[in-house]
Amino acid sequence: MIDRPVLILSALGRCLPLALSLFALMGKPVQAGETAKALWFPDQPNAPRYAWSSAPCEACERIEPYPGWRLMAEMAGLRDIHFLIAADEDSGSAYSAAPNVLVLAPSALRLDTCQQAFVVGHEIAHLAQRHFDEDARLLSALSGKAAGWTRNGERAMGLLDGNIALAFRMSQHWRWQEREADWLGALLAAEVYGCTLEEGALPYLRAAEGYGGGIAAAHDPGARRAEFLDAFAESARRLAFHAYYFER
């Protein structure tokens, strides 16, 4: 027989982590005009940075971001993102370019609010986590370069030129980056737009099924991305619930 104090302690032991995690997920309420990184969003990696010249596409045009996009960027710890619209769909619905450029294809502007928030959040996550620096560092290491052989990002990325073996070695790493951008982007969309996975990320990934294959692919198929995201469904639901009741 278990006595009552033990039962109470046992119940507390189960409930306290849940309450703490809920608090951590919600983060600090943001007042009008205030900018704040979300408590749950990871800090930028504390690693050497590369210099990037950032010339993503000549045919792109600057666009004024929706306030929600800006808020998602601020929640990821970024204030200075340039939003561009591409002239065509050749590079997919969206991509990011180091160090602070986010490019959307015309089709991304036609997505419904939650799918669009997921797409934009995903690219913000790539920029906030400085995945481009991670690529430059890993490419250098895999190529046997001495630490600090260059701080020029494009020069480090040039190691990939014509080196399909290196691209294969990088592809697993790129897939992990995509997963990270997926879950962070989905939670940004939940926090700012009140979008659950079922409303934003999952229908987008279902529609994007088939995109991203090929040799040394950076993306898993949409179904596998959706499966990975399932672990974050409850977190997104809680953030979306919070956004719904504490409108920003």
Which residues are at the interface with Zn ion (CB under 5 A)?
178, 181
Residue 72: CB atoms within 10 A of its CB come to 30
Measured from each CB, the residue nearest to Zn ion is 181
3-state secondary structure of 227: helix
User: In terms of CB distance, is 26 or 75 closer to Zn ion?
Assistant: 75
Distance of CA 240 to the CA centre of its chain: 17
Crossing angle of the two packed helices 113-128 and 164-193, in degrees rounded to 10: 130
Q: Give, as one character, the DSSP assignment of residue 42.
A: P
Tell me the residue type at 217. A
Give the burial class of 221: count Cβ atoms within 10 A of its Cβ; 0-12 exposed, 13-18 middle, 19 or more buried. Answer: middle
User: In terms of CB distance, is 120 or 139 closer to Zn ion?
Assistant: 120
Shortest separation between residue 204's beta carbon and Zn ion, angstroms:
12
Shortest separation between residue 30's beta carbon and Zn ion, angstroms:
26
User: In terms of CB distance, is 156 or 181 closer to Zn ion?
Assistant: 181
User: In terms of CB distance, is 176 or 246 closer to Zn ion?
Assistant: 176
User: In terms of CB distance, is 184 or 243 closer to Zn ion?
Assistant: 184
Shortest separation between residue 131's beta carbon and Zn ion, angstroms:
8
Shortest separation between residue 105's beta carbon and Zn ion, angstroms:
13
Shortest separation between residue 136's beta carbon and Zn ion, angstroms:
17
Match 């045919």 to its residue by tokens: 59
Closest CA relative to residue 170, chosen from 221, 134, 145, 144: 134
Give the burial class of 110: count Cβ atoms within 10 A of its Cβ; 0-12 exposed, 13-18 middle, 19 or more buried. Answer: exposed
Q: Which residues pair with 152 in a beta bridge?
A: 51
User: In terms of CB distance, is 40 or 95 closer to Zn ion?
Assistant: 95
Shortest separation between residue 117's beta carbon and Zn ion, angstroms:
15
